[in-house]
Amino acid sequence: MNEILPIHVAIIMDGNRRWAKKHKVNPIEGHRKGVDTLIKIVEEAVRIGIKYLTVYALSTENLKNRTKSEVLALLKLIEEGFTKHLPRLKKEGARLNCIGDVKTLPISTQMIINRAIDELKGGKNVVITVAINYGGRDEILRAANNLTVEKRPFSESQFEDQLYTAGMPDPNIVIRTGGHKRLSNFLLWQSSYSELYFTDVLWPDFDAKELGRAIKSLKTGVRNWGR
């Protein structure tokens, strides 16, 4: 069977801190290298025609369980990344979307994210969705709470309209780097019928060739939807 090009690729970008440890550098340098990797993968996604790329940048658990200094460093890196790479993303025709509880982030981070979204709103080649302060269970509870206010039954499509990803196709494939084989609370509803691809490659070492290997694992564009 022929490989197919996925419309929507989702990636759990894992392994930045282990990469930093391996190379004997500060953990934040691993995350910084990870940002550079993301930009290269965006460029490759545009080159081969992927229309949606969704990445897990910072989970709700990250914010709760990591030290305050590390969280602040990660948020500063997010601000730096959106600012530094904005021209490159614009050149690639990328449109930016952020999902998660962004409103609880520092005002400076919110402002930079919103500015980047506004600057890239004309992008037509690929939609880059960055999950920040995101959790799949939290997203599902949020959607359910929005709908149960009316106290009447609702359909799957009505439920999906309340998700952060409303209007986007579900991912054809979810890729996780770094060796762990779990979804870690990422796109739990949306990935119900997605192909899952796990690689031992740490995220900073992930490249166009590795993305190609993941895509080659997709043998058919037809989903059985549980049958």
Binding-site sequence positions for substrate:
15-19, 31, 59-61, 66, 176, 182-184
pLDDT of 65 reads 85
Judge whether 221 lies within some domain.
Answer: no
Separation between Cα atoms, residue 31 and residue 51, nearest integer Å? 25
Residue 15 has pLDDT above 60, yes or no: yes
- Model-level pTM greater than 0.75? yes
Question: Measured at the alpha carbon of residue 137, what is the angle toward residues 40 and 5, in degrees to the nearest 5?
Answer: 35
- Residue 200 annotated in active site: no
Separation between Cα atoms, residue 83 and residue 43, nearest integer Å? 17
Judge whether 207 lies within some domain.
Answer: yes
Q: Which of 2, 26, 36, 62 is catalytic?
A: 62
Please give the structure tokens belonging to residue 170: 């579900």
Binding-site sequence positions for Mg(2+):
14, 195
Q: What residue numbers bound the domain in which 183 lies?
A: 8-135+169-216
Residue pair 94/120 in contact by the 8 Å Cβ criterion: yes
pLDDT of 28 reads 93
pLDDT of 64 reads 85
Domain total for the chain? 1
3-state percent breakdown (helix, strand, coil) of the chain, nearest 5: 45, 15, 40
Residue pair 38/46 in contact by the 8 Å Cβ criterion: no
pLDDT of 226 reads 46
Confidence of residue 70 (pLDDT cuts 50, 70, 90): confident
Residue 227 has pLDDT above 90, yes or no: no
Write the CB contacts of 222 (distance below 8 Å, at least 6 apart in sequence): none
Residue with tokens 């054809």, as numbered in its chain: 172
Binding-site sequence positions:
14-19, 31, 59-61, 66, 176, 182-184, 195
Judge whether 45 lies within some domain.
Answer: yes
Count of C-beta atoms within a 10 Å radius of residue 133: 23
Judge whether 122 lies within some domain.
Answer: yes
Judge whether 164 lies within some domain.
Answer: no
Q: What is the mean pLDDT of residues 154-162?
A: 94
Say what angle helices 68-84 and 27-48 make with each other, to 10 degrees.
Answer: 40
Domain with residue 110: its CATH number is 3.40.1180.10
Q: Which of 14, 97, 133, 170 is catalytic?
A: 14
Task: Dump pLDDT digits (tens) for 73-102.
Answer: 999 999 999 999 999 999 999 999 999 999
